[in-house]
Every structure is written in structure tokens, then in C-alpha cells.
Amino acid sequence: MQQMLPVSKYTSIKQLVNGHFQVSLSIYASYAKNLYMLKEGNFVYQSREKCKVLYLSGIALKLGKGYQVDASAIAHQIASHFLRNCDKDFQVEILGSGLIQVEVADAVIAGCFQSLIEGVGGGSKFFTFFNVSGF
């Protein structure tokens, strides 16, 4: 289901990606019955890649170790939920043994920049919208 969300609600793209991870993890936790997940938390960190906006998450590795489950299987489930809700805004890839990589689409980055430009310009209250889903 597609929704329009105000970019200005997020102080950074990292918070946007982290929010999608929180939704995906809560969906995964509801399927994996005895799994406890914190509602708040920072699940991603920014990659050092300079040409792309990439975020990495080791949450599947952490869950796999803690619950003695294959981290790669957890990563694939989380990525599946993530992509189901926001496939046009992000590219998600599973690296190695369960590390999840999220590449932010150019349209999302442009929307965030546009909201910053309009906000700094001192004009009237603004909301810049782009398509994201899952919230």
C-alpha cells in the first residue's frame, strides 16, 4: 500500500531507513513467535561508500546469534518485508552471512534535499512529499 509521507518529519535519511527497519522487524517478530524486539533502536549505520547513499544493518547477525538461528534466513525475511513496503525507494541486498545493505534511491535523496532547501529559504510552512510505504 503506497502512502505519501512528509520528508520534513525525518531529520535524516538514516532515520527514514531506520524507521523502515523498525517496521520490518516488528513484522518479522510477529511471525517468529518467541522473538522479543525493542521498539526503539538504531539498527543501521552508514557505509563509507562515497558514490552512493548506503546503510548497513547487522541486526540479523545479532538475532541469529542470540536465538541460535541462521542469520542469513533472518536477513532474507527482514529484507523481504522491507522490500514489500518500499521497493521503489530502496534497494536491499543481503551480504555474506546476513549483513543487510540498503541503498537509498535518488528520488528519496532529492526529496530530502528539496525539503532542506525549502526549509532554509524561510518560506511558508512546507511539506515535500515522495512515495514511501510501510508506515
Q: Is the pLDDT of residue 10 over 80?
A: no
Of 15-19, 58-62, 76-80, 103-107, the least confident: 15-19
pLDDT in tens, 80-97: 988 887 778 899 999 988
Q: What is the pLDDT of residue 91?
A: 93
Quote the percentage of the chain above a pLDDT of 70.
70
Local structure of 119: helix, strand or coil:
helix
Segments making up each domain of the chain, as ranges: 9-133
Rounded to 5°, the CA angle 72-91-103 comes to 100
Q: What is the pLDDT of residue 94?
A: 95
CATH assignment of 9-133? 3.30.1360.70
Q: Supply the pTM of this predicted model.
A: 0.70
pLDDT in tens, 28-49: 777 665 555 555 567 888 888 8
Helices 106-120, 13-31: inter-axial angle, 10-degree rounding? 130
